[in-house]
Amino acid sequence: MSGVTPVIRNGSITIEELPESFESSYLDRATVNAIFERWRGNRMLIPRISKVTVNICVGGYSERLDKAVKVLRMLTGQEPSIRRAKQTIKEFGISRRQPIAAVVTLRGERSLEFLRKALYAVNYTLKASSFDPYGNVAFGITEHIALPGVKYDPELGIFGMDVAVTFERPGFRVARRRRCRSTIPRRHRVTREEAMLFLELLFGVRIVG
């Protein structure tokens, strides 16, 4: 890699910070060059991190769910929301509408700060299969105490969690606004290769097959 080291601003980077060349851990050089050319040709195509969603699912254990809420609140600094089961699963003792998970959605600087810690917990390594066709990526953390600065609390125990990173390009607001809402065309969606390259550039992530 050469040139200016990219810096995250508002979840994205600027054209001026794109390196002249970059050696990807997973993508071939032609793919990397094609992505850079596309980004440099139109700054509206440079993706950005829209949000980071953190989920802890505990099943039907209400006491453990209370502890999961405390863990998420401690890790993210936000109040988690409770998710309920959409259907009854007798094998797991879960009834429809029963609280089973705690979820936090992070945006802005909080999302970037947590993502750095989450990637540290997985040794900055992600599987290529973790990326979907639209560039979003999800990965699991087996123990929340693997995050830097977190100590084991015997009263809370140890929780695993799922972390999902959502990418988008500038202009995605049209799909969320109340008036004159419109869909995002496929050509403006973030590709899995772009998401891989973005995480490699910004966080030094290594992609494995």
Domains of the chain by residue range: 15-202
Residue type, 65: L
| pTM reported for the whole predicted model | 0.85
Per-residue pLDDT tens for 19-54?
Answer: 888 999 999 999 999 999 999 998 888 999 999 999
d(CA 133, CA 63): 37
CATH fold, domain 15-202, is 50s Ribosomal Protein L5; Chain: A, (3.30.1440)
Residue 180 clears pLDDT 70, i.e. is over it: no
Looking at the chain, the whole-number percentage of residues with pLDDT higher than 90 is: 59
Answer for the pair 63, 153: CB distance below 8 angstroms, yes or no: no
Mean per-residue pLDDT, 60-80: 90
Residue 118 clears pLDDT 80, i.e. is over it: yes
